[in-house]
Chain A
Amino acid sequence: MAASDAVPVSPATARESDAEARLWRRLTVAWMLIVFALFLVLLLLGLAMRLSQANLLQKLTPEYFYAILTLHGLGMVGTWFVGAMAGVSYQLTRFARPSLGVARFALLGTLLGVVLLIAATLVGRFGTGWYFLHPLPFYSAGVWPQWAVGAFFAGLGVLGVTWTVWTLDLLRALARRYSLGGALAWPTLRGRSGPETPPFVLVTTASLLSGLASFAAAVIVLVLYLAEWLGTDVKNDPLLMKNLIFFFGHGLVNVTMYLGVALVYDLLPPLTGKTLKTNRLVAAAWNLAIGLVLVVYFHHLYMDFIQPRALQYIGQIGSYLISIPAAVISIFTVLYLVYRSPVRWNLTSLFLYFGVMGWAIGGVQAVIDSTIAANFRFHNTLWVPSHFHTYYLLGVVMMILAFASHLGREATGVPDRPGLARLTATLFLLGGYGLVVMFAFGGAHSVPRRYSIYPQELAQGALYARVSLLFITVLVVGILLYLWDTARNCWKAMSA
């Protein structure tokens, strides 16, 4: 989107009444407070794992380490997915009318799913990692009981159903207002005049459609697992299951990132004094992304040499190609918005802007990691957590935290604190990048990921973990400063 695209977009106010608007705000604030609480708990679990790897928490046995690893991975991905969905739902109410009832159902379903996952992992010690590769759940080596397997899959099932219903409702609302083709800016793509599709609507629709595909894969995996678990004659194929699981997992993470980008498209322009609209280039890029996102997951299976060779090629080519529209359209657009603009730098704009920077730097790592020849040396080393923590912690998490900050201030009218915002962002970035660079450094020195403790021949891993603890401390201070400001505003908004 260039300067000529700077035509103001005036979203139709779709909320029926002020009372409905208040209910949406209250619900979204509740979501943000839950997200903060989960974030803190999951962050502490991450810290515990790094302490264990640094040989500073010897009481953490491997059984609990892997249970915590499973909860940390699934929990963080799920927490920020619902955070993004809640944020997008709230912003979407300015354009369309999603169902408040479904949004409340999503909250309850998510809480139930979380309780089941916590029971399976922290109580039942279910420790397969987030990706529960077939047939590991059935080979517990005496660690987790059968009920933990059931609770884990029940939790995933509840979350899968809940999030699918939630996604479908948002798509319904979008289709009702714009038609599905309209929400995907197809008239713009064809060069036809017609109702304008705001970029936020386009990105949200593209993201949600990709999300549906991921959830469909998750449902298939769960049904196949269930059939085997119940003792039927079904004997699942590990390679097929691995493909389905990574299709689901990679898709979910991608969707979360794209929903975060949708928030950037919506929240950043007003803070820069510029406006955006959807042109043909933007429409083409996001429609293309829906297709490409479905095939890039193959890069998770490069080290399965028996995977058909064509799929390996598609994995690398798709991963390279998808980075071009992301960089040329979205990242460039954000730079355009800020360049020489009278930006109102506050917690929201800082976290949105530097969240996009995290997306860009994580993208550099993603391209490297999706190169089969490089993946041969980096797969399942600490390089990989470096990449996805950059994408997540320093990317989409910052975008959603920016939304929460915006929401808290909008609800309470508390003025910006630019000095505090700069300090918070500085500590967050310093600690966060220190953390991810130490992960990458470990990967470059052949340290595997998902090791509860490093054996003697990989003793350097413990040293790197100790160094990273310094950066984690800085990061935690930054997060606490953020929460001191934003969580207080959200709390006030809840009780108002």
Chain B
Amino acid sequence: MTQSGPVMERTHEWERGRSAIDVGAVSADAWVEVAERDVRETLRGQIARLERESSAIVADAFPHISPADRPDPRELRDEVVAGPRLLTFAELERVRDRLAGHTQDLRRLAAERVEHERRAHERLEAMKLEPGRYKFARLPVRDLGEGGCGVWEVRPRLGLIGMLSGWWQVKLSSGCP
């Protein structure tokens, strides 16, 4: 991820602003400080957006994607227990990059989940159309993105008679213990 776009725009704004005021009265250090602060503000905005996105993915896809899917929180612990503080540009950039990576992982998991559910729906349709081709096939409703512990299952109608006669049907069992 690059900072050049917003930073360049801001820089041009400052340049325009500088011509309107007495540039000599403001030291170069002060300009640098203001510029850095503005970049940090931009990074905070990006962090907030990434945080909202990752939270939305987790909330939408729970329990299939859990917040505990993070790589290893223990790695972060040392840094985090240091306590709340004003972060430098480099620290904010690290936070942003790590969160961007995490959000990217969540997006991938969410996309995989959507694909998994799409295939499960197709399979259920096929089971309903031709149950004889899917004898004893089972499909948990969780794979379809539904809650509960039900299972769609292709079973013979009337037990042994149905099995011998080729009478198959798709039934939803509660599946719960």
Partners in one complex: no
Q: Which residues of B contact A (CB under 8 A)?
A: none
Q: Which residues of A contact B (CB under 8 A)?
A: none
